[in-house]
Amino acid sequence: MMKTVVKFGGSSLASAAQFQKVGKIIHSDVARRYVVPSAPGRRFGGDMKVTDMLYECYRLAEEDKNFQGALENIKARYMEIIKGLFLNFSIDEKFEEIAKNFRNKVGECYAASRGEYLNGIIMAKYLEFEFVDAAEVICFKENGNFDAEKTDEVMSKRLEGLQKVVIPGFYGAKPNGSVKTFSRGGSDITGSLVAKAVHANLYENWTDVSGFLVTDPRIVKDPVTISTITYREMRELSYMGATVLHEDAIFPLRKEGIPINVRNTNCPEDPGTMIVESTCNKPKYTITGIGGKKGFVSITIEKAMMNAEIGFGRKVLQVFEENGLSFEHTPSGIDTFTVYVHQSEFESKEQQVIADLHRAVQPDLIELESDLALVAVVGRGMRHTRGTAGRIFSALAHAHVNVKMIDQGSSELNIIIGVENRDFETAIQAIYEIFVIAQK
């Protein structure tokens, strides 16, 4: 029998009406047996996510201020959902317990986790599924690190034989029982851990967009949706700023070859984006996606005969390491070596780095250029298509974008282009036009 894990994000569970859509989705496919809810998200622009309300409420408790009003507002969010779903049960006791634990200052993680915990209980009642507390099955070590092995073992045992379950997202517990959360957006991780533990055929991640878009809709109006993307392509794109899914949700599944389908609760008829290990499904366009980030500095170190100096690159990179800076790219020429770093991290260390470089490699010249952006053109289809780079650069030239740096990864999965910050949007629009609009 097919097994599908379904995770619903906060906007999919923000109100009773959203719960009803979710209920319909779950009941329309018997394979949807494992449900992972987030906490209620925003119902409208300017609204607050319950997780944020919980953090704020707990802060009051920690500062020995009156938090009862803030907690009542959170309770009201759940009451509205319970009433709207015509469920007949009380959460008074749960809230008394939460208030007591807040007074005892049991911790911020516990506070934040109640958003998912309560939503899980409501969801289980609504669907008539069994509720399994994530604190039982998601294990953290005493030092707070996630314990993948133990989680897999405990969870697969606990879920064995259960037909239909709700497991709240975002948190687990340490061996002493204290609650620990993942980083924000962590319900995605819970979903993928459940999928791994039960050897699911599919992990559906339901959110409020119909999958991944080829590029940022703030830069290109109504970009097309990516129908299939590989884990590697996604990693390249999410690193460059495209985030729909928590990064750490990918690793547990990648190892198991379980595909992820990102879907839209508000448009369940849309097929969304499939994220897979590998596919022979040819992308519709040569490129899969365009990502990018602003705010880089390039440090170019020039020295005559550098190419003959063994250990030059190592010594340069060591300076960055010792200054606690991670580098992004290192394009080089015969007598030049350039390092790209994040401007925000570099600025305070600039003079130290220059001094250290002088000491380490005695360069003829060090040149800095700031306010640079990196654009990543990603696509498994590029490997088999001649002229991709040519098309990118002629599109950029036509758009009057000056290319500062080019780096094609050896996997031929991506081409990274350095441009000035002010050309960033134009560069992405030009590349989108040449590959998507011209090919439509």
The binding site for ligand ASP (CB under 6 A) comprises 10, 38-39, 49, 51, 115, 169-170, 184-188
Widest Cα–Cα separation across the chain: 80
| Shortest spacing between CB 49 and ligand ASP, in angstroms | 5
Distance separating alpha carbons of residues 135 and 179, to the nearest angstrom: 7
Exposure string for 397-407, b = 16+ CB within 10 A, e = fewer:
eebebebbbeb
Using the minimum distance from each CB to ligand ASP, give the nearer residue, 118 or 396: 118
| Shortest spacing between CB 44 and ligand ASP, in angstroms | 17
Angle at 208 between CA 201 and CA 428, to 5 degrees: 100
Using the minimum distance from each CB to ligand ASP, give the nearer residue, 71 or 244: 244
**Which alpha helices (H) appear in 28-91, and where do they start and end?**
50-62, 68-84
Distance separating alpha carbons of residues 300 and 66, to the nearest angstrom: 56
Using the minimum distance from each CB to ligand ASP, give the nearer residue, 39 or 82: 39
Using the minimum distance from each CB to ligand ASP, give the nearer residue, 170 or 424: 170
Using the minimum distance from each CB to ligand ASP, give the nearer residue, 51 or 273: 51
Residue nearest to ligand ASP (CB): 187
Fill in the amino acid letter for 139.
C
Torsions phi, psi for 403 (to 5 deg)? -85, 125
Q: What is the DSSP letter of 248?
A: G
| Shortest spacing between CB 118 and ligand ASP, in angstroms | 11
Nearest Cα neighbor of 110 from 125, 99, 121 is 99
Nearest Cα neighbor of 378 from 222, 207, 226, 162 is 226
| Shortest spacing between CB 60 and ligand ASP, in angstroms | 19
| Shortest spacing between CB 360 and ligand ASP, in angstroms | 42
Fill in the amino acid letter for 426.
T
| CA-based end-to-end distance of the chain | 39
| Shortest spacing between CB 39 and ligand ASP, in angstroms | 4
| Shortest spacing between CB 182 and ligand ASP, in angstroms | 7
Using the minimum distance from each CB to ligand ASP, give the nearer residue, 38 or 265: 38
Using the minimum distance from each CB to ligand ASP, give the nearer residue, 44 or 86: 44
Using the minimum distance from each CB to ligand ASP, give the nearer residue, 19 or 337: 19
Structure tokens, 314: 């190592």
Q: What is the DSSP letter of 434?
A: I
Q: Is 80 buried (19+), middle (13-18) or exposed (0-12) by CB count in 10 A?
A: middle
| Shortest spacing between CB 430 and ligand ASP, in angstroms | 35
